[in-house]
């Protein structure tokens, strides 16, 4: 409400205006409206009075009347730029985003220095899925008004959705430094820190948010449990998941998730069998529950099966098929559209898996393009930005989908996809749940995550002879489709150096000249307990041997794995060299320096062992 009084010719109107203003300031909107309505008709038609009356009506939830006033002011060209901004904000909240954006753009042509208008335009761009434009609008608002916390907050959110987690994190740190009691800012800082791999910091930020706003507790408890799972502190995660009161709607899902969690570093094969047995029993119980307990109302709680099952060296098919039944009875396949003019093949990749996707399939996708075949890479915005940065040559194939799985499924369905190739199914909730909607005529999986999905709506597993044991087909719910050649196109690393240069690299990495270096480049989560005995025997039989590995990004996992090796009789301090997470150039140089590459039993091969 404007503090500058209009130029009234009637003293009574001036007094009523002052009374309306004072009542508005006190939050007494009924009295404020009464004072305005008591003015003379001539005064009520004055643009400032009419606009103020509309603002009062908004506070009284009489939005239609307020909208009529704003539109009338604009129609008679009596509205100032704030009229456009106020009407635009009303329409934005109603969901009329296109008209809201046009009104803001009109207002900004009249007054380009209005920081609030640029901020509101950023909100609209963000709601329309155009975070790149939103970022530009928020940055303009901040140039005009540097102390604008809401603009900083939403700028950070858009940066994070664009896959730019580090600038988002830094901006949110600035916000909480100035406003340390803003719970939502701590919550979003935790999410950005988690994206950056800073799990310890993310846990601390989440706990701070929960302290500041207990009402966020239920939502943040799930995030906090995820962070403890990332650190492989399973007992702590289970405790959090099962702390939800059993009468709450989400308790069923969280109880099940807690029962299914598996350690990333199991102590022994016996522990693995116990975890799988507990999981099987939990799924049996869950499937006996009434379907109402697992309705789509709780979709935010849905999750993928434990990835660790794939590393256990057991037949995952029974567990995966049981898990899939939870969703098969909830999610109906989409009704497909008619076929396109030419065959359409889509490839779906999700956040965090862009690099290996590009290395393994980038060359194939380049060669698939032709006038007779339409090729699309389906991914959300943050994944698309990462792919465009890492693989610019694939940019023309990228098709951005909505971020919510049901919306993305309908989006893909509407593009008449004949075959949807999932780079991975089961490594996150998005790629696990998507196939249940079956947005394409045929769906397949392959080498990206060579484990059965257990989902009968996925038609086949594309593989090659030599990658599966003789009875491998029995481990898949999908039909096996064999091809003679490889299922990837892995280019020679651009960082490749001749083998002869390896000796010169030894001093750089503090390797002794006479050491025999055995490197296992697999992720430490894939090291089955039975691998410990292999390592022990290798080092026992080769007195000059040393094991080389890359530490996990989570220090807790590295410590647990080294502790397990030590308990198995391996002199970790003297015979094991652990490197921190390396960039690709240094990683390949370390690998080239070593004498022998060791592969993990049960889950091995793949890009790390075969291609690197």
The residue-averaged pLDDT of 76-91 equals: 81
CA distances 362 to 251, 303, 397, 517, Å, are 42, 29, 11, 32
In a domain? residue 102: yes
Residue 127 CB neighbours (<10 A): 14
In a domain? residue 401: yes
Going by C-beta distance under 8 Å and a sequence separation of 6 or more, which residues neighbour residue 565?
532, 535, 572, 576
Which of 259, 294, 328 is the last residue before a domain boundary?
Answer: 328
CATH number at residue 525: 3.40.50.2000
pLDDT bin (cut points 50, 70, 90) of residue 498 is low
pLDDT at 491: 76
The Cα–Cα gap between 401 and 409 comes to: 8
Going by C-beta distance under 8 Å and a sequence separation of 6 or more, which residues neighbour residue 274?
none
Residues 512 and 604 in one domain: yes
In a domain? residue 145: yes
Each residue of 429-444: pLDDT tens digit? 999 999 999 999 999 9
Residues 471 and 505 in one domain: no
Residues 20 and 121 in one domain: yes
The residue-averaged pLDDT of 69-93 equals: 82
Exposure of 484 by Cβ count < 10 A (0-12 exposed, 13-18 middle, 19+ buried)?
Answer: exposed
Residues 450 and 552 in one domain: no
pLDDT at 538: 97
| 476 alpha carbon, distance to own chain's centre | 28
Number of domains present in the structure of the chain: 4
Each residue of 361-371: pLDDT tens digit? 888 888 888 89
The beta-strand segments (E) located in 438-484 are 442-445, 460-464, 479-483
The residue-averaged pLDDT of 116-131 equals: 91
Task: Give the lowest-confidence range in 228-237, 494-503, 588-597.
Answer: 494-503
Q: Closest Cα partner for 328 from 409, 436, 433, 425?
A: 436
Exposure of 106 by Cβ count < 10 A (0-12 exposed, 13-18 middle, 19+ buried)?
Answer: middle
pLDDT bin (cut points 50, 70, 90) of residue 402 is very high
In a domain? residue 353: yes
pLDDT at 4 over 60: no
pLDDT at 611: 58
In a domain? residue 334: no
The Cα–Cα gap between 144 and 467 comes to: 60
- Name the residue range of residue 276's domain: 231-328
The residue-averaged pLDDT of 66-92 equals: 83
CB 127 within 8 A of CB 154: no
Which of 483, 508, 538 is the last residue before a domain boundary?
Answer: 483
Measure the CA angle with vertex 150, ends 147 and 152; round to 5°.
70
pLDDT at 532: 97
Residues 475 and 382 in one domain: yes
Burial pattern 14-37, b for ≥16 Cβ within 10 A else e, equals: bebbebbbebbeeeebebbbebbe
Task: Give the lowest-confidence range in 255-259, 575-579, 602-606.
Answer: 602-606
pLDDT at 290: 62
Residues 64 and 138 in one domain: yes
Q: Closest Cα partner for 131 from 343, 402, 358, 364?
A: 402
Q: pTM for this one? A: 0.85
Between the two ends of the chain, the Cα-to-Cα distance in Å is 65
Would you state the structure tokens that stand for residue 586, as one six-digit string?
């240094």
pLDDT at 419: 98
Would you state the structure tokens that stand for residue 112, as one six-digit string?
């380009």
pLDDT bin (cut points 50, 70, 90) of residue 292 is very low
The residue-averaged pLDDT of 118-134 equals: 92
Would you state the structure tokens that stand for residue 151, as one six-digit string?
């603009």
The percent of residues in the chain predicted with pLDDT above 70, rounded, is 94
In a domain? residue 202: no
The residue-averaged pLDDT of 436-464 equals: 95
pLDDT at 548 over 80: yes
Q: What are the backbone angles phi and psi of residue 109, rounded to the nearest 5°?
A: -65, -30
pLDDT at 323: 96
Would you state the structure tokens that stand for residue 438, as one six-digit string?
């079956």
């Amino acid at each position: 409400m404007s503090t500058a009084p209009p130029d009234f010719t009637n003293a009574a109107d001036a007094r009523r205006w002052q009374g309306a203003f004072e009542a508005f300031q006190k939050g007494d909107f009924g009295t404020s409206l009464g004072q305005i309505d008591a003015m003379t008709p001539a005064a009520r038609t004055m643009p400032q009075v009419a606009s103020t009356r509309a603002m009062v009506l908004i506070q009284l939830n009489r939005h239609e009347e307020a909208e009529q006033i704003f539109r009338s002011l604009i129609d008679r060209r009596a509205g100032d730029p704030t009229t456009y901004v106020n009407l635009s904000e009303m329409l934005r909240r109603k969901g009329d985003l296109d008209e809201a954006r046009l009104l803001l753009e009109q207002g900004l042509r009249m007054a380009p220095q209005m920081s609030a208008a640029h901020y509101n335009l950023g909100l609209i761009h963000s709601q329309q899925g155009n975070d790149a434009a939103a970022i530009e609008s928020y940055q303009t608002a901040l140039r005009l008004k540097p102390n604008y916390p809401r603009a900083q907050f939403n700028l950070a959110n858009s940066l994070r959705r664009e896959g730019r987690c580090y600038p988002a994190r830094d901006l949110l740190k600035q916000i909480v430094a100035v406003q340390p009691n803003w719970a939502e800012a701590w919550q979003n800082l935790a999410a950005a820190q988690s994206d950056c791999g800073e799990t310890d910091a993310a846990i601390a930020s989440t706990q701070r948010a929960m302290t500041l706003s207990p009402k966020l507790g239920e939502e943040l408890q799930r995030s906090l449990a995820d962070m403890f799972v990332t650190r492989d502190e399973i007992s702590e995660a289970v405790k959090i998941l099962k702390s939800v009161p059993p009468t709450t709607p989400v308790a069923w899902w969280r109880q099940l998730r807690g029962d299914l969690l598996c350690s990333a570093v199991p102590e022994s094969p016996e522990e693995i069998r116990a975890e799988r047995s507990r999981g099987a029993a939990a799924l049996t119980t869950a499937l006996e529950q009434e379907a109402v307990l697992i309705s789509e109302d709780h979709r935010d709680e849905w999750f993928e099966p434990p990835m660790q099952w794939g590393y256990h060296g057991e037949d995952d098919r029974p567990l995966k098929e049981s898990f899939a039944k939870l969703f098969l009875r909830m999610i109906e396949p989409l009704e497909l559209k008619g076929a396109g003019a030419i065959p359409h093949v889509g490839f779906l990749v999700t956040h965090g898996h862009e690099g290996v996707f590009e290395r393994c399939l980038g060359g194939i996708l380049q060669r698939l393009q032709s006038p007779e075949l339409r090729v699309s890479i389906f991914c959300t915005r943050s994944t698309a930005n990462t792919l465009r940065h890492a693989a610019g040559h694939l940019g023309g194939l990228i098709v951005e989908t909505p971020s919510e799985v049901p919306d993305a499924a309908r989006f893909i369905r509407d593009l008449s996809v004949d075959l949807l190739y999932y780079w991975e199914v089961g490594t996150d909730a998005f790629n696990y749940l998507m196939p249940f909607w079956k947005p394409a005529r045929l769906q397949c999986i392959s080498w990206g995550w060579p484990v059965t999905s257990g989902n009968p709506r996925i038609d086949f597993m594309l593989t090659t002879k030599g990658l599966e044991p003789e009875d491998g087909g029995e481990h898949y719910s999908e039909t096996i489709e064999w091809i003679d050649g490889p299922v990837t196109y892995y280019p020679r690393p651009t960082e490749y150096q001749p083998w002869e240069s390896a000796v010169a690299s030894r001093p750089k990495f503090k390797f002794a000249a006479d050491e025999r270096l055995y490197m296992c480049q697999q992720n430490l989560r894939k090291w089955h307990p039975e691998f410990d005995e292999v390592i022990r025997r290798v080092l026992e039989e080769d007195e000059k041997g040393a094991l080389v590995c890359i530490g996990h990004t989570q220090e807790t996992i590295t410590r647990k794995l080294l502790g397990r090796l030590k308990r198995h009789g391996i002199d970790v301090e003297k015979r094991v060299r652990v490197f921190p997470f390396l960039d690709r150039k240094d990683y390949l140089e370390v690998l080239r320096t070593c004498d022998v590459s060791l592969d993990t039993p049960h889950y091995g091969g793949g890009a790390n062992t075969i291609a690197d």
